[in-house]
Chains A and B, each alone.
Chain A
């Protein structure tokens, strides 16, 4: 149904007044006008950029290396100037964000171009490492919108733990050191990100980025603690001292109590610190247990997300509670498949799985509805 049709129905139902309907229609007319102009301008610009790119691509081997390098530097510098010029201007916020995004991406293509011109035989991850670290200060200081912040967050969560761990794995054969770095990263990296996002001076200047950092910290910690359950499947392959996970378990608990005594944190902050330290502790449990068990893996995962849901419940994050309950339900189903997977091949197996799925769906809805009621 069109907007006008819907507005008519809402007026008839008494949800909005005729004056409100007219105001909404006027607003939409104005917005649609600027959207059409912006759409045409963007399409034209895209067409010009595509045309230029095609000409450059078709003649790539005929363009000298110097021209390629200088041309790329000029584009990057021009974008830097635009970001600098626009970044404090609220009317140009979108322009600044687009220019920053282009500069971010073109820095990576510049690295690739250098590799091509000087015939460097480095690995792709080395190029990405250089790109990520040299552009991070720029993104953190100049990104204002949530899309850029989230894109950077995705790059962060994929790249940084991988970089830390791959560097450690290359540097040493000692499993004690490797596990120490692994557990240290799982505990301290999320805490570090959260503190940066919580830093008042940064948070007031870069609200979207700071909020993204705080969410990223929680997500990274939970992802690390969830991945740690894999240790229940193959932890007998490598030998390491029990004191390594024990030290990090003690550190997680000590950090939790030390940070909770600080007066500058709000009650909400303290709950987040509880969650981050809890994740750090849960990362160590599979390494402490030396157990090889599908059941323990499932219980570990469920307990972790159950506690996370309880903390979010106290913080009033109904959406996160709902996600946690869904994940727990999925994990229970995966646990069922792990234990009774062979039954799937039989007719009774299909009936059992069908009934289980319906039961989990029903129970999940019930739990979510009750928890949401509690939150509200």
Chain B
């Protein structure tokens, strides 16, 4: 009995985290997702590496949202992991306020949102960022 309990204690962290991963994977794939315009950011986070941190603009006409839902019950902020060297350029891109529309595809689970991907002007963020970098290198046309 003691031996079994000891083994359980040893495996408890891995079992709990595996269960959590399973639960999150199911939610990630099955929870209803919406395209929401995002504003505000801070790509730095001391623990988790580099993130875009933003607020959801549910009131924006371009944002889709669940029907018949109280706006107060929707998540207000989210974050999205991006590689370190992209984070700074994304920050500059937003700072320059050149009219780009940043849109997050967020799976909603209650008050929380899991951002599945990020699109800029309708393109995947990597492509939009690459195009923006090219424009920056060539200078204004």
Contacts and interface: CB of A to CB of B under 8 A. Distances in A.
Interface of A: 60-61, 69, 73, 76-77, 80, 83-84, 103, 107, 110-112, 114-121, 124, 127, 130-131, 134-135, 137-138, 140-142
Contact of A134 (B13, B49, B81): B13
A73 B83 contact: no
Interface in B70-101: 75, 77-81, 83
Name A's interface SS: helix
A119 B24 CA distance: 10
B85 to A, nearest CB: 9
B47 interface: yes
Interface stretch (B60-68, B108-116, B127-135): B108-116
Contacts of A111: 17
Given A84-B7, A114-B17, A119-B79, A134 B12 contact: yes
**Range for the number of chain B residues in contact with chain A:** 20 to 34
Nearest to A115: B48
B10 interface: yes
Nearest to B16: A134
Contacts of B10: 80, 83-84, 138, 141-142
B113 A121 contact: yes
B17 A110 contact: yes
Nearest to A61: B83
B138 interface: no
A163 B88 CA distance: 34
A73 B9 contact: no
B114 A138 contact: no
Nearest to B115: A119
Closest 9 CB pairs of A and B: A137-B9, A107-B13, A61-B83, A119-B115, A134-B13, A118-B24, A141-B9, A134-B16, A116-B81
Given A119-B81, A141-B6, A142-B10, A73 B18 contact: yes
Contacts of B81: 116-117, 119
B47 A127 contact: yes
Select the residue from B10, B11, B80 with max chain A CB neighbours within 10 A.
B10
A140 B9 CA distance: 9
B114 A135 contact: no
A121 B108 CA distance: 12
A76 B20 contact: no
A117 B75 CA distance: 19
Given A69-B21, A73-B18, A120-B114, A80 B11 contact: yes
A17 B77 CA distance: 75
Contacts of B20: 114
Contacts of B141: none
Nearest to A131: B13
B28 interface: yes
A112 B12 contact: no
Nearest to A130: B16
B14 interface: yes
A138 B48 CA distance: 25
Contact of B80 (A80, A119, A124, A140): A119
A138 B8 CA distance: 9
B79 A112 contact: no
Contacts of A69: 21
Contact of A114 (B21, B47, B112): B21
B79 A121 contact: yes
A76 B78 contact: no
